[in-house]
Structure 1
Amino acid sequence: MSRLTYLCVCRCSSASGSYFTRSKASHVLKEFRKLHSYARSLGLSTDRQRDPNLNPIRNHIACTNKRAKCVSASVPLNPLHISKRDFSAETYSKYFSPDVAPIGYAQKVLESIHSTTGLPWWASIAVSTMLLRGIVTLPLAIYSMRIMAKVELLQPEIGKLSQELRREVAVAVKKFAWDTKYARFKYNSTMRKLIKDLYIRENCHPAKSSLVLWFQIPMWVCLSFALRNMSGAVPTASTDIEAPVLCPDLRTEGTLWFPDLTAPDATWILPVLLGLTNLLNIEMHSLTGQKARRMQKIMMNVMRLLSVVMVPIGAVVPSCMCYYWVCSSLFGLGQNVLFKFPSVRRLLRLPRTPSESQTPFTDMYNAAKLKYVLRAKQKDS
């Protein structure tokens, strides 16, 4: 662009009633100044730079009697050309490309396992999932279960402390004439301090049980985008240009009904399997026999909704991504099943808790029968 000009044309007619007030003219001036600053930041030339005496705004806008009468300028206009950016491709390249350290490292790990084992990509993805989850998330999951077991074992002691504190507060209310609001405040603040001291004593703060999520979710995201980059399913600046497939072997090293791992699963078998596996994982947690709190019920429903939403998402992404998600969900399902066995829990040195069942699968079957069959019959009747 060789010139930036400003033009304000206003038709002042009583018939149409189209005119600029002073406030509207002020708004136009602000917009022109922003545009001028933006063009100058891009290194574009303006009429002000060519002729310092030229003031196109003041010379071509005249406002009288609360009506702005804008006289069109005779300055030739050149259109403002600004290069259009594709924000989707630009954002993806900035945050999810192989140049981003965690995603690039995840891609190198997948390629190293593939080249070391010599397995086809479908088997290499499965082995990589099992290795990474077994090395990284499995120890954290065991640690999380140990923390939750200690917290559960503290509940009887917390209950006794609560009863003693209630009696002490009741005595203080009579002795010092505390009102109900102040007594409740003292009880809650003292109880929180006592529970915190117990958590410190046993080194089992419940927040530590969420440590596994801080590793599992980022690893899941990095591996997912690494597989997407390798399959070439990334946005580009132009629709006419296709992104290169970084690993061409993915096109031929699939298996069964998905031989091409760079293409979506047209049969929807992988996406449906993904949704069913996730739902089964969630329902196993909901059939523990313990009464869920309101927030836990909300979280369960949110997870169920996400499991359903993942089905159409899995149908449009490359098969390698959906296949990795299925492998990760199957690993989580197998992990949850193993943790139900009392012998496995003793082998992992998990404390025995009151909620632990010696016949976990029989109890789950009875709970599922009560939840899904008997309640459904009661609603029908």
Structure 2
Amino acid sequence: MKYLEIQRLMRPFSNSSLQSDSKLRKLSFHSLHQTVVRKVIAPPHYRSFHQCISRPIYYEASQATYDLFQSIHSISGTSWSITIPLIALLVRMTVSLPLSLIQQRASCQQVKLIPILLAWKHNFRKETLHESGEQGPKACEKIISMKMRRKRNELFRRYNCGRWKLLLGFFQIPIFLGVLDVFRRMTDTKLTSFAQIFSVENMSDSQRIMLLEPNLANEGMLWFPNLMVADPHLALPFILSGTFMLNIFASGKSHLTLSRRQIVIRRGLGVAALCIGPLFLHVPSALLLYWISNSLLNWIQSWLVSWLIPISQPMQPLIPKKPWKITGLEEKELKFEKNPFL
């Protein structure tokens, strides 16, 4: 019965196709046959695929993050002024804290290996002076540095404290920026002209991927009741600068001895932290509240990790109070270090 119905539907199309080319007739007949069979014979639960505009992965991730924030807000039953620090705490506990523990263990193990590396450096120096001493001090230093680099990589690999583990903290940056962008969309804040260069909305259609959160307008706290606008008293931007200064100069690693380069970098970061306040005067309070909460939790986390896995100062080589009695071989080495061309 279904076959007769297919023949009846296809009869007028087959008569009209006699005037066209044979190849075109075969193609049209085949496509029409597939269409009719799909409509008549295919069961109703079969899916029909069609072309659609695919959304970027970033849109899907932002929508999932937005749904997660709404779930936390509804489950906790608190206002957004409490939910936002709670979200920062959850992100810290699930993402940042495990990575910080891995970094701290690797740093602690690397510090313990410093005396071994110093001992190997002494052996490499003596070995290089005997093998390549005639090439000059610069060539010897290059050879010693190459041997030390190989030995350091070997020890770090053996004790599972590779230098790549110290870079795990950079994985937090995309997550942090993604959360800030979700709060930006929830407050309907427009991007600046510079930030629009890196905006996903300029790469595809500018459709709204999440709804505006109107409860942010009346679920603030203290002197900032509206989280969708900037702080009317201009206090939150400078509080953010203070939390940055706290992380830079009073973190859990501030007791360690720093090199001159590290001191210069720290002072430069302090100057940049002071500039945060005037630059963020017009940022909505919701974004500043999350940033302040995240910065304070980072300071607490640094002290907690330093307390759980302390890093002691590396053992320094002993300096004798009186000059040692040197042998003939060591005397030749000292003469070579003073004047290698003798």
Query: What TM-score do the two structures reach when normalised by structure 2?
Result: 0.65
1:232–1:245 contact (8 Å) kept in structure 2: no
Aligned residue in 1 for 2:94: 135
Aligned residue in 2 for 1:76: none
1:149–1:351 contact (8 Å) kept in structure 2: yes
Instruction: Return the offset for 1:126.
Output: 1.1
- Flag the 1:99–1:142 CA change in 2: closer, same or farther, 3 A: closer
Aligned residue in 2 for 1:10: none
- Please, which of 112, 120, 132 is the counterpart of residue 161 of structure 1? 120
Aligned residue in 2 for 1:146: 105
- Flag the 1:235–1:131 CA change in 2: closer, same or farther, 3 A: closer
Greater relative contact order, per chain length (Cα 8 Å cut-off, separation 6+): 2
1:224–1:321 contact (8 Å) kept in structure 2: yes
Aligned residue in 2 for 1:172: 131
- Flag the 1:294–1:231 CA change in 2: closer, same or farther, 3 A: same
Distance 1:297 1:354 in 2: 17
- Please, which of 203, 218, 233 is the counterpart of residue 189 of structure 2? 233
1:182 and 2:148 aligned? no
Distance 1:200 1:310 in 2: 40
Distance 1:285 1:305 in 2: 17
Measured against aligned partners, the alpha-carbon deviations of 1:142-200 in whole angstroms (never above 9, x if no partner) come to 111111000110101011011111111112235xx323332222111111111110111
Aligned residue in 1 for 2:180: 224
2:220–2:227 contact (8 Å) kept in structure 1: yes
Instruction: Return the offset for 1:98.
Output: 10
Alignment of 1:81-100 (within 5 A): 100=59
- Provide the aligned C-alpha RMSD in A: 2.8
Distance 2:156 2:230 in 1: 48
Alignment of 1:18-97 (within 5 A): none
Distance 2:140 2:72 in 1: 62
Aligned residue in 2 for 1:288: 254
Instruction: Return the offset for 1:236.
Output: 10
- Flag the 1:286–1:332 CA change in 2: closer, same or farther, 3 A: closer
Instruction: Return the offset for 1:321.
Output: 0.1
Distance 2:282 2:81 in 1: 18
Q: Unaligned stretches of 5+ in structure 2?
A: 1-54, 194-207, 316-342
Query: Match of 2:226, as an amino acid?
Result: D
2:226–2:285 contact (8 Å) kept in structure 1: yes
Aligned residue in 1 for 2:65: 106
- Please, which of 264, 271, 286 is the counterpart of residue 230 of structure 2? 264
1:150–1:351 contact (8 Å) kept in structure 2: no
Alignment of 1:188-203 (within 5 A): 188-203=145-160
2:236–2:288 contact (8 Å) kept in structure 1: yes
- Flag the 1:267–1:114 CA change in 2: closer, same or farther, 3 A: same
2:112–2:314 contact (8 Å) kept in structure 1: no
User: How many equivalent pairs are there?
Assistant: 246
Aligned residue in 2 for 1:206: 163
Distance 1:110 1:259 in 2: 20
- Please, which of 204, 210, 217 is the counterpart of residue 251 of structure 1? 217
SS of 1:339's equivalent in the other structure is helix
- Please, which of 253, 268, 280 is the counterpart of residue 302 of structure 1? 268
- Flag the 1:282–1:236 CA change in 2: closer, same or farther, 3 A: closer
Distance 2:191 2:89 in 1: 30
- Flag the 1:314–1:300 CA change in 2: closer, same or farther, 3 A: same
Instruction: Return the offset for 1:352.
Output: 6.0
- Flag the 1:268–1:121 CA change in 2: closer, same or farther, 3 A: same
Distance 1:155 1:320 in 2: 46
Q: Unaligned stretches of 5+ in structure 1?
A: 1-94, 238-242, 357-381
- Flag the 1:296–1:101 CA change in 2: closer, same or farther, 3 A: farther
2:114–2:314 contact (8 Å) kept in structure 1: no
**Structure with the higher fraction of residues in helix conformation:** 2
Aligned residue in 1 for 2:245: 279
